[in-house]
Amino acid sequence: MSLPFYSEYPFVIRPATTNDLTDIAYVITRIAREENSLGAEPMLTQEPATITMLEKMRERPHCWLVALVDNKIIGIACAVKFFETGNSGSTAVLGIGVLKEHRNRSVGSALIHRVIEWCISNNISKIRLTVWEHNNAALQLYKKFGFKPVQKKKTAFPAKGCLVDEIIMEKQIV
Ligand SMILES: CC(C)(COP(=O)(O)OP(=O)(O)OC[C@H]1O[C@@H](n2cnc3c(N)ncnc32)[C@H](O)[C@@H]1OP(=O)(O)O)[C@@H](O)C(=O)NCCC(=O)NCCS
């Protein structure tokens, strides 16, 4: 299955390499410091801690993509194969982020599109992710690609020091 995708914004997407780790950590750290999207998660707001987390994630089967403009990383997507679900394949957990000044130009859509293609060719039957209820941009992006909410739970939102609904969404691949 191949999904149609086209954008006029001049970005390219390629698989990430270990040489990209520092630049990826920079992108994640910048996004994590925004109040709204990742909730300013303390762990992700420091580059060394982010690099350690990324190295740990790479121990599992994964699809790690970077989006570049003028040869600079401006977006990332990472799907990590987590749960085996018997003969029906396995579940990948997805994370995605695009630098603020490059949003609304289809970079996020292109990244998800490529992640889905990777899942299809790697016997992944389901993609799962979590998103804050107030993160409208991310919610719309996920809905556009067929993700459905499956669970909601109150979770501490570090940026505001209060409890907020965190929504777990899934997309069935096969
Ligand atoms: C969520 C995010 C990755 C979207 O990336 P993007 O490159 O801006 O996404 P796209 O331009 O491909 O937009 C895809 C769809 O998302 C929706 N969308 C994007 N920005 C939106 C906004 N500000 N408000 C409402 N919907 C929005 C639209 O439905 C859009 O589809 P359309 O172009 O057909 O109308 C980006 O906003 C981001 O990095 N946010 C911070 C990090 C984050 O929240 N990550 C997800 C954590 S769960």
Residues 17-38 have pLDDT tens digits of 989 988 998 998 889 888 677 6
Residue 7, judged by CB atoms within 10 A of its CB (0-12, 13-18, 19+), counts as exposed
Instruction: Flag whether 42 is in a domain.
Output: yes
- Residue 95 has a pLDDT of 93
Assigned token pair, 158? 């570090």
Is ligand 1 within 6 A of the CB of residue 107?
A: yes
Instruction: Flag whether 118 is in a domain.
Output: yes
Instruction: Flag whether 170 is in a domain.
Output: no
Instruction: Flag whether 80 is in a domain.
Output: yes
- Domain total for the chain? 1
58 vs 129, more confident: 129
Residue 23 belongs to a domain with what CATH number?
A: 3.40.630.30
Is ligand 1 within 6 A of the CB of residue 135?
A: yes
Strands (E) located in 18-146: 62-69, 72-84, 90-98, 124-132
| Full residue range of the structural domain in which residue 88 is found | 12-126
Predicted confidence band at 97 (pLDDT cuts at 50, 70, 90)?
very high
Instruction: Flag whether 51 is in a domain.
Output: yes
Instruction: Flag whether 137 is in a domain.
Output: no
- Residue 43 has a pLDDT of 60
Type of residue numbered 90: S
